[in-house]
């Protein structure tokens, strides 16, 4: 499979509630490969969700291990099929940007630590505890599956949205 083009807002596919993915289907397998290829190809991305390449299914991939903020706590490449956050605690604010919302960044407060339940690339059911930047990245990607962008999470437009430097 291949690197796919990133869907950019106001494309309506970014605002849809995604359908659960069929774990055994070839569509899901191919989608996972495309997501991984597209994420690594961008060079600076640490995660991507299916709607960002135009597919409305509940699949995302995250890998913060190459980012300076993710060195300490990471699970390397995580393939998240039908993921669900089952526990979250603490709070952490980061200046988030998104490949689908170019030119802007925003301060978003998210849980510092989460427990995420998902099916991995091999079809195994997984429950994983994540913290710090990896937890933030997962929450950002999972929002995409519910049609939410970081702009939906910004609390104060005056102090929380920034033109990208």
As annotated, the active-site residues are 141
What part of residues 58-117 is at the interface with other proteins (CB under 8 A)?
A: 67-69, 94-99, 105
* # of chain residues touching other proteins (CB under 8 A): 27
What part of residues 22-51 is at the interface with other proteins (CB under 8 A)?
A: 42, 44-47
Stretch that binds other proteins, among 20-28, 72-80, 116-124, 136-144 (CB under 8 A): 136-144
Q: Is 164 in the site for other proteins (CB under 8 A)?
A: yes
What DSSP line would sit under 13-69, residue for residue?
Answer: GGGSPPBPP-TT-HHHHHHHHHHHHHHHHHSS-SEEEGGGGT--BSEEEE--TTSGG
> Which residues lie closer than 8 Å to 25 by C-beta, 6 or more apart?
none
23 or 92: whose CB is closer to other proteins?
92
Q: Is 124 in the site for other proteins (CB under 8 A)?
A: no
29 or 107: whose CB is closer to other proteins?
107
Dig out the tokens for 72 from the structure: 């300490």
Distances (CA, A) of 74 to 47, 67, 71, 150: 13, 10, 7, 22
Distance CA 37, CA 40 (A): 5
Is residue 63 within 8 A of residue 77, CB to CB? The reply is: yes
70 or 118: whose CB is closer to other proteins?
70
Closest CB 139 distance from other proteins, rounded Å: 9
What is residue 138's DSSP assignment?
A: H
55 or 137: whose CB is closer to other proteins?
137
Residues near other proteins (CB under 8 A): 42, 44-47, 67-69, 94-99, 105, 133, 136-137, 140-141, 150, 158-159, 162-165
């Amino acid at each position: 499979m291949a690197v796919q083009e990133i869907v950019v807002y106001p494309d309506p596919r970014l605002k849809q509630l995604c359908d659960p993915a069929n774990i055994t289907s070839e569509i899901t397998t191919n989608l996972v490969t495309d997501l991984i290829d597209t994420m690594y190809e961008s060079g600076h991305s640490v995660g991507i969700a299916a709607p960002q390449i135009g597919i409305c299914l509940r699949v995302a991939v995250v890998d913060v291990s190459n980012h300076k903020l993710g060195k300490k706590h990471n699970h390397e490449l995580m393939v998240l099929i039908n993921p669900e956050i089952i526990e979250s605690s603490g709070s952490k604010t980061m200046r988030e940007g998104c490949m689908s919302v170019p030119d802007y960044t925003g301060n978003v407060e998210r849980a510092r630590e989460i427990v995420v339940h998902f099916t991995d690339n091999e079809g195994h059911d997984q429950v994983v505890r994540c913290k710090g930047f990896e937890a933030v990245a997962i929450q950002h990607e999972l929002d995409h599956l519910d049609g939410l962008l970081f702009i939906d999470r910004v609390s104060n437009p005056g102090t929380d949205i920034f033109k990208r430097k």
